């Protein structure tokens, strides 16, 4: 099992550009989430999904879009990148209520 | 609303010292789980432990131990005889909305530096 994979590992964008961060898991987990990590802020939830076709907003959703067409994939789209979106992004999956999150390796995004 | 507080932002110890990382949470749930994660300098998030609110027994795993006290809403983490490899950021976490969303609320983390 590859677990949770994320691509790319690093990305530099100019303000206003759009891009998609890819996330995939091969553990057949229903729950998937996107977090961003900023210095001193811990991890904050951007969007989450409780199953294919179902997504919802987390704590900091503005400027991001998600979709979940399959159980395996949960891409995160930046619609028009802003310097405030410079962060490390983690995708996670979870097999069910009360279980731990399985994290991907993260994507370090810089917006100039 | 659920909340997780890690009041210690940074801790610095010398190797072989014992160190305790504090975690206090707020919830109206009567049953819940609590988690600790480790983030070493390489950046990945490593799961350490999950505890059920029904079980208040201390958990020990090698040099790591966890003290869960429901009465004080605390879930503290102790490293005994710390080593340089323990240097990392440690996060305490709590399920969002009782776990129904499959994600967690994280504390802001405690950065532990263990010096030789």
Query: Do residue A50 and residue B102 have CB atoms under 8 angstroms apart?
Result: yes
CA–CA separation, A90 and B46 (whole Å): 12
Query: Do residue A94 and residue B109 have CB atoms under 8 angstroms apart?
Result: no
> Is pLDDT above 80 for A1?
no
A8 or B101, greater pLDDT: A8
Q: For residue range B24-82, what is the model confidence (pLDDT) as tens digits? A: 999 888 888 999 999 999 999 999 999 888 887 788 889 999 999 989 999 999 999 99
pLDDT of res. B44:
96
pLDDT of res. B76:
95
Radius of gyration (C-alpha) of chain A in whole angstroms? 13
Query: E strand or H helix at B38, and its extent?
Result: strand B33-39
pLDDT of res. A2:
84
CA–CA separation, B66 and B55 (whole Å): 12
Which of B102, B105, B109 is the mutation pick for testing A, counting most A CBs within 10 A?
Answer: B102
If you average pLDDT over residues A19-28, what whole number do you get? Answer: 97
**Token representation of residue B100:** 């129904």
> Is pLDDT above 90 for A103?
yes
Q: For residue range A46-68, what is the model confidence (pLDDT) as tens digits? A: 999 999 999 999 999 999 999 99
Cα→Cα distances B31→B28, B34, B95, B98, Å = 9, 10, 11, 8
| CB-count exposure of residue A43 (10 Å: 0-12, 13-18, 19+) | buried
- State how beta strands B64-69 and A64-66 pair: unpaired
**Token representation of residue B61:** 């795993």
Which residues make Cβ contacts (< 8 Å) with residue A62, sequence separation at least 6?
none
Query: Do residue B102 and residue A48 have CB atoms under 8 angstroms apart?
Result: yes
If you average pLDDT over residues A74-94, what whole number do you get? Answer: 97
pLDDT of res. B14:
98
Chain A touched by B106 (CB under 8 Å): yes
pLDDT of res. B81:
97
Which residues make Cβ contacts (< 8 Å) with residue B2, sequence separation at least 6?
B25, B26, B27, B29, B94, B95, B96, B97, B105
pLDDT of res. A9:
97
pLDDT of res. A20:
98
């Amino acid at each position: 099992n590859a677990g949770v994979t994320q691509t790319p590992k690093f990305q530099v964008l100019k303000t206003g550009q759009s891009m998609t961060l890819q996330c995939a898991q091969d553990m057949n987990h229903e729950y998937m989430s996107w977090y961003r990590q900023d210095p001193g802020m811990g991890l904050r939830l951007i969007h989450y999904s409780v199953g294919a076709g179902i997504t919802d907003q987390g704590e900091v959703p503005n400027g991001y879009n998600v979709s979940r067409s399959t159980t395996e994939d949960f891409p995160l789209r930046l619609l028009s990148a802003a310097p405030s979106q410079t962060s490390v992004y983690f995708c996670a999956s979870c097999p069910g209520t009360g279980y731990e999150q399985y994290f991907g390796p993260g994507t370090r995004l810089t917006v100039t | 609303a659920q909340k997780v507080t890690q009041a210690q932002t940074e801790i610095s110890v010398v190797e072989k010292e014992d160190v305790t990382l504090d975690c206090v949470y707020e919830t109206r749930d009567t049953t819940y789980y609590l988690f600790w994660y480790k983030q070493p300098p390489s950046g990945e998030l490593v799961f350490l432990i999950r505890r059920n609110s029904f079980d208040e027994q201390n958990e020990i795993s090698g040099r790591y131990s966890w003290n869960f006290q429901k009465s004080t809403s605390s879930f503290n983490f102790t490293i005994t005889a710390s080593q340089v490899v323990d240097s990392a950021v440690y996060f305490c976490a709590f399920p969002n909305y009782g776990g129904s969303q499959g994600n967690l609320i994280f504390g802001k983390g405690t950065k532990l530096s263990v010096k030789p």
